[in-house]
């Protein structure tokens, strides 16, 4: 109820004495007191009923009103039964503090006022509860009839509440995608994954240029294989500033999203069994016809259950193989991550578990994420990997038929080893690198790689540290410029004589001659191992 309801027909006969402009304040309860300092007992939203026995002089009115205003009281009702009419100094104090002041005539009991407010507040709470229950009923009905988009449309249209369901790589599962840019989605999932990694309690909050957002995880099960694979419910606004009822609505929506995620995961069980079967067949070098039958079954299942307009069966076309490995992640995490990441690229990817990693077999005609863009797709996951977590992936060239998948798997594994030799949380290598020197470097044992690099670069690095020089960067630029003095000097913004001096120092420190092709190749490989 509002303060003005105390002056409406049917209410106790109270007189308004001050702060008419504040009558729309919400009243949540009543406090009856004649204490000199009742502030410690106020929680906010109360109408204070007083017999004014605390007043001994005009100065007491200012102190009393200031105290209840600081405590969050929304109005003051002064009884005239004990001390007579409300004094003018109390009226003036209420005006100064914008505190609505009501006079309670001597024939109106405080109990009457308290009972009236209690009935009104109870009725308001019952109405709020009924509305909340009805809202939840509508949400459940929408989830059952039209999926998450129907739920979010309901909230957007009826409550002006914009919500999105995102994958950990920023793809939109549900919600108005046109109202959230790709850059904003990337920042939101990074903020969510970073908060999850730090084990902060949700909702997580993110402030972007476009406004504030609240982020709630939507796990299929409490012990999900990897928090990194959770869906994210992004809600426009700061949930922590909402009313309790509105916060409950957001929490229930997150539970509905988690239920939808669980339903989707249940539907993936058959797909996972087929994926594991394909990997088993490849590992034991099974008959290509048997592999082809399993691939055909997976393609037919996707056409029947998951794709509105079935595509041609891919069992007779080209296939790609991805080999992935996770470090510092729970078993099954990489599989779950790739299922989410590739879900927006193809409905036909078979993701098999392989210990701490995964193997993906997917039709090349559906491959919207070749090796050169897969790294960008998975980049947001870095925010949730932490200091120990790492994902490396290798991608094969297309295999023209099922019989070529065994070779494609080996190719993907070799490419993954190349990716593993790089620096970074998420590293990807494709088939084009298998004909490069990078393949040779990846095959060299770690201790040999370290020794080779150390012999060539340790003295140069030590000189840079001691003299604050720039020899390593100069060497890199010189090799990129194919040994051209003028181009290298221009790139480094130094004089050619300065460049000649630096190269001379490198040759003195290492005993090598950078005019010789063999020595240039050695330096190039050493830098690649950095």
In terms of pLDDT, which residue wins out, 192 or 315?
Answer: 192
Q: What residue ranges do the domains of the chain occupy?
A: 3-108, 146-267, 269-442, 446-528
Bond into 63 cis (ω within 30): no
Selection from 224-238, 248-262, 508-522 with the highest mean pLDDT: 508-522
CA distance 176 to 185: 12
Q: Quick check: 328 pLDDT over 90?
A: no
pLDDT at position 75 is: 93
CA distance 527 to 394: 22
CATH number of 446-528: 1.10.10.2840
* Per-residue pLDDT tens over the stretch 170-209: 888 888 888 888 888 888 988 888 887 777 888 888 888 8
CA distance 448 to 499: 31
Contacts of 238 (CB under 8 A, 6+ apart): 205, 212, 214
308 pLDDT band (50/70/90 cuts)?
very low
Q: Which one is the CATH code of 146-267: 3.40.50.970, 3.40.50.2300, 3.30.450.30, 3.40.1400.10?
A: 3.30.450.30
Fold match between 146-267 and 269-442?
no
Q: What's the mean pLDDT in 414-432?
A: 79
pTM of the model: 0.52
* Average pLDDT score, the chain: 79
Ranges of H-type helices in 198-268: 244-267
CATH architecture, domain 3-108: 3-Layer(aba) Sandwich (3.40)
Q: Quick check: 141 pLDDT over 60?
A: no
pLDDT at position 425 is: 79
Q: Coil, helix or strand for 127?
A: helix
* Per-residue pLDDT tens over the stretch 98-139: 999 999 998 898 888 888 888 777 666 545 544 544 555 555
CB atoms within 10 A of CB 18: 24
CATH architecture, domain 269-442: 2-Layer Sandwich (3.30)
In terms of pLDDT, which residue wins out, 411 or 382?
Answer: 411
| Angle, CA 406 vertex, CA 405 and CA 407 arms, to 5° | 90
Q: What's the mean pLDDT in 311-317?
A: 44
Q: Quick check: 313 pLDDT over 60?
A: no
Q: Quick check: 239 pLDDT over 60?
A: yes
Q: Coil, helix or strand for 60?
A: helix
């Amino acid at each position: 109820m509002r303060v003005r309801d105390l002056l409406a027909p049917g209410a106790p006969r109270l007189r308004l004495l001050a702060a008419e402009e504040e009558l729309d304040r919400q009243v949540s309860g009543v406090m009856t007191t004649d204490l000199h300092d009742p502030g410690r007992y106020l929680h906010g939203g109360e109408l204070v009923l007083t017999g004014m026995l605390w007043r001994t002089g005009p100065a007491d009115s200012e102190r009393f009103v200031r105290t209840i205003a600081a405590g969050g009281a929304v109005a003051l009702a002064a009884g005239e039964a004990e001390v007579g009419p409300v004094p003018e100094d109390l009226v003036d104090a209420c005006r100064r503090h914008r505190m609505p002041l009501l006079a309670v005539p001597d024939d109106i009991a405080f109990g009457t006022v308290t009972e009236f407010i209690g009935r009104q507040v109870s009725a308001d709470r019952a109405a709020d509860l009924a509305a909340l229950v009805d809202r939840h009923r509508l949400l459940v009905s929408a989830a059952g009839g039209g999926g998450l988009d129907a739920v979010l449309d309901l909230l957007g249209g009826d409550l002006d509440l914009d919500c999105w369901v995102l994958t950990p790589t920023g793809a939109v599962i549900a919600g108005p995608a046109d109202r959230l840019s790709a850059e904003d989605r990337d920042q939101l999932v990074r903020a969510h994954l970073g908060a999850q990694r730090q084990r902060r309690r949700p909702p997580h909050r993110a402030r972007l240029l476009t406004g504030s957002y609240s982020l709630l995880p939507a796990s299929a099960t409490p012990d999900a294989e990897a928090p990194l694979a959770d869906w994210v419910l992004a809600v426009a606004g700061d949930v922590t500033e909402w009313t309790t009822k509105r916060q409950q609505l957001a929490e229930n929506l997150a539970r509905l999203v988690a239920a939808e995620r669980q339903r989707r995961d249940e539907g993936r069980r058959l797909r996972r069994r087929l994926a594991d079967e394909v990997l088993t067949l490849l590992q034991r070098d099974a008959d290509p016809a048997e592999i082809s039958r399993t691939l055909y079954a997976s393609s037919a299942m996707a056409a029947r259950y998951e794709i509105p307009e079935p595509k041609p069966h891919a069992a007779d076309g080209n296939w790609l193989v991805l080999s992935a490995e996770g470090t510092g992640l729970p078993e099954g995490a990489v599989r779950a991550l790739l299922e989410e990441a590739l879900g927006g690229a193809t409905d036909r990817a078979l993701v098999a578990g392989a210990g701490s990693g995964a193997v993906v077999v997917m039709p090349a005609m559906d491959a919207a994420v070749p090796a050169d863009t897969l790294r960008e797709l998975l980049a947001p996951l870095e925010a949730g990997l932490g200091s120990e977590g790492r994902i490396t992936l290798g991608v094969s060239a297309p295999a023209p038929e099922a019989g070529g998948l065994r070779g494609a798997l080996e190719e993907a594994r070799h490419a993954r080893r190349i990716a593993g030799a790089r620096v970074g949380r998420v590293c990807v290598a494709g088939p084009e690198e298998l004909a490069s020197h990078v393949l040779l470097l990846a095959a060299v044992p770690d201790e040999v790689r370290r020794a080779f690099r150390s012999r060539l670069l340790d003295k140069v690095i030590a000189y840079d540290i001691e003299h604050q020089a720039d020899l390593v960067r100069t060497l890199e630029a010189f090799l990129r410029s194919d040994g051209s003095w003028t181009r290298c000097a221009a790139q480094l913004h130094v004089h050619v004589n300065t460049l000649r001096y630096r190269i001379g120092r490198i040759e003195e420190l290492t005993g090598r001659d950078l005019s010789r092709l063999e020595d240039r190749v050695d330096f190039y490989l050493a830098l690649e191992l950095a």
